[in-house]
Structure 1
Amino acid sequence: MTKPAVSTSSFPWRWLVAGGILAVAAYVYFIALRPVAVVVPVVRGRAVNSVPGSVEVKAESVLPVKSEAGGRIVTSSLNPGRVVTKDEVLLQLDTGDVDIEIERIANDLEAARRRAQVGSTLRAERDNKLDSLNELERRVKAGAFSVAEFEREKRLYQQLVQRVDLEEVNLKLGVENLENALRAKQREKAKMTIVAPFDGVIAELNIAGKPGELIGRDFTLATLISKSRVVEAKISEENYAGLIVGQAAGVSFLSYGPQQYRATLTKKLPTANAETQRYTIHLNVEIPEDKLVPGLTGEVVIVIGQRDNQMIIPRRALRSKQVMLVESGQVVVRSVEVGYTALNEVEILKGVSAGDLVIVEELDTFRPGQRVRTRTAN
């Protein structure tokens, strides 16, 4: 049996098809080997110039409650966590001994006032001496009495007047001293009643506070934390100058997740921390007061300027004053002019156009002219 003849004309086509397949495979393989650049398109939007800072919530006042007087406890309402109001009695010491002293001084004062009202016991003698002196003066004028003797009697009268004045001054001084002593004892008694200096919460307690317990002078009884809160933010030195009281801000707290609360800058403190060179500002945050727990921390972004319809790129795409773009699959480095800078975004005044693809991740791994594939960032 004879074999069919093989057509030699089909071989070139087979080689061409095989070559085409290999070329496509090589091209696909070559493209697949290109690194992937994560990009974000340049968009138009609102450019915001903002200042970042760290935030901490503090109690407006943290005050140790001390006893200025020593004594024995009669009553106490000191309990950790207890809410107290201004001038509420927290602890009462026994005032029995002081009351006795106050009563004694008050009696002495009443007697001293009566003595001062009566005046010096030498008043009558002074008046009689004055009458005698007037009579002697008439006799001197009549030539019936010695002038020298009259001058001696006149000096004796002056001495008597001085004794009367001095005695009455001492009587007045005795009244004033007793009045001061009475006020001092009354003040000492008042110090034996310890009251809350402001509305707050008792945070710590250093004594049991049981009736009959003895405490010493200047003993720290407890720590009182005020109900009012202060939200402090720390701002770097280079950003402090642009801040103005009344500027709007956004505050987020670590304990409350990504939620942001509106705030207003209310106070700028003029001195910086000597170690960190960061300045302190105060914020009024629109948040329920019970959420502002002392010790809470977070972040703040203060808006100091904004412009609409500007070129915006992610801040992480900016390296110095340059960005990396992908044009026709190739990396291009372009110098840009930077405008407003926010926490996560940057305004570009010159150098890019809307729709340009800027690289936002691993910028150090790319070089100008490098062929890349692109993937849009999430």
Structure 2
Amino acid sequence: MQNLKISILFLLCLSCNQEREKIFPQRTKLTSSVYASATIQPDSLYQVFAVVAGILDDNLVEEGDLVEKGDAILQINNRAPKLNAENAYLSLQQSKENVQGNAAILKDIEDEIYATRLRFKNDSINFSRQKRLWEQNIGSKAEFDARKLAYELSENQLKQQNAKYVRTKYDLETKMAQAKNSYSSSKIITDDYTVNSKIKGRVYALFKEPGELVNTLEPLGTIGSATNFKIVMLIDEVDIIKIKIDQLTLITLDAYPKEVFTAKVSKIYPQKDERSQTFTIEARFTESPAILYPGLAGEGNIVIAEKEDALTIPIEYLIEGDKVETEEGLVNVEVGFQNLERVEIVSGITENTLLLKPKE
């Protein structure tokens, strides 16, 4: 009876062992990678802000439109600044006319200087002639004094008019420079009421409608590259030290469920997000999908190591991180690289070791 029980138990154990899956280790190429969540974002994406507060007059573009650098995209009500700019422009034109035009103030002074110079020349000649006569005792003292006085008066008047010309020219040029500065300042203020694109790209979002109040603190829209996209990935802090620039990255997107795209790590942000305990990195496609939109989600696997001809087993056959089960019982092994599916066995078993799948 006792022998019968032993035989039944043996048969049951043998039956259990026969039902469990068995495999031999395999030599394969093993790729070790770091997993990351991935989100697609346009390159150079930025939020649009106004530098002045006011009422939105018009959205000059629509969401999805392509824009060039400097294109106007939003117009804020600028009637008062525009009138000020027009008045400043008129003042500038008047100042230019006073300095450079046909009816310029300086032209009148130049004409006066010309007439005074002729009179001075004539008085100088008469005085010189009368002086020579007086030296020859010809003529009267009163006539000599009159010629001398006329000469001195015209000389003094010419000096005064030359000084007046210099002073007037300086004043007019100063006023023209002030008018130019005033016009430039008012034009800058007017330009501030028009929001322009900082880059060549696409308008991805507009947040305000005409008639709404805008301020300098709320974004009015977002603009980014229309052709260049980046992959933003979140890396767990325990894995960030494994990441390096130019590492191969395999990207899968929910929008392309049956395709795998290649990319390379392009940027590592050094600041950790304390809330999620993750680091942010960026990658660039080397093989990009035909169509991309901001916010497309997926997964990334950053390849940190590759090994040819590695002795590997499915990761579910590994017990407690360093053991496998054989027909003779548990065996300690040394593991190497691993990924989500397979793990490298450095020592402890060979290709000929039959492994049992651990019981669930």
C-alpha change, 1:176 and 1:323, in structure 2 (3 Å) is same
Partner of 1:56: 39
Q: Which of 354, 357, 362 is the equivalent residue of 2:351?
A: 354
Q: Percent identity?
A: 13
The answer to whether the 8 Å contact 2:34/2:239 transfers is no
Secondary structure of residue in 2 paired with 1:83: coil
Give, in angstroms, the shift of residue 262 of structure 1.
1.6
TM norm structure 2: 0.66
CA–CA distance in structure 2, aligned partners of residues 331 and 319 of structure 1: 9
> Do 1:56 and 1:298's aligned partners in 2 also have CA atoms closer than 8 Å?
yes
Deviation at 1:330, TM superposition (A): 2.0
RMSD, aligned CA: 4.9
Deviations 1:53-89 (A, max 9, x none): 332233442424537463573x55677xx42221666
Provide closer, same or farther for how the CA distance between residues 129 and 184 of structure 1 changes in structure 2, counting only shifts above 3 A.
same
CA displacement at 1:92 relative to structure 2: 4.6
User: Structure 1 residues 314, 132: closer, same or farther in 2, change over 3 A?
Assistant: farther
Distance apart, 1:181 and its partner CA? 2.8
Q: Structure 1 pair 48/270, CA: closer, same or farther in 2 (3 Å)?
A: same
**1:354 maps to amino acid:** E
Report Cα offsets for 1:6-26 as digits up to 9, x if no partner.
Answer: xxxxxxxxxxxx776555324
Farther off after superposition, 263-272 or 125-134: 125-134
1: distance between equivalents of 2:187 and 2:163? 36
Deviations, residues 119-164 of structure 1 (Å, cap 9, x unaligned): 64666777858997996xx99xx9x9xxxxxxxxx99998876654
TM-score with structure 1 setting the length: 0.64
Post-superposition offset of 1:100? 4.7
- Give per-residue Cα distances to partners, 1:226-268, cap 9 Å, x unaligned: 36443112344655465232x4321234x45964522211512
Change (3 A) 1:305 1:162: farther
Alignment match, 1:179? 180
Q: Secondary structure at the match of 2:178?
A: helix
Residue 252 of structure 1 corresponds to which residue in structure 2? 252
**Aligned counterparts of 1:185 and 1:199: Cα–Cα separation in 2:** 30
State whether structure 2 residue 204 is matched by structure 1 residue 201: yes
Q: Which runs of 5+ in 1 are unaligned?
A: 1-17, 145-153, 359-373
Distance 1:31 1:343, change over 3 A: closer
> Does 2:294 match 1:311?
no
Instruction: Name the SS of the counterpart of 1:286 in structure 2.
Output: coil
State the match for 1:223 in structure 2: 221
Q: Is the 8 A contact 1:51 1:301 kept in 2?
A: yes
How many equivalent residue pairs?
325
Ranges of 4+ aligned residues in structure 1 off by more than 6 Å: 32-38, 124-127, 129-135, 154-160
- List aligned pairs for 1:33-52, cutoff 5 A: 40-52=23-35
Superposition pairs of residues 279-294 of structure 1, within 5 angstroms? 279-284=280-285, 286-290=288-292, 292-294=293-295
Residue identity in the other structure for 2:47:
L
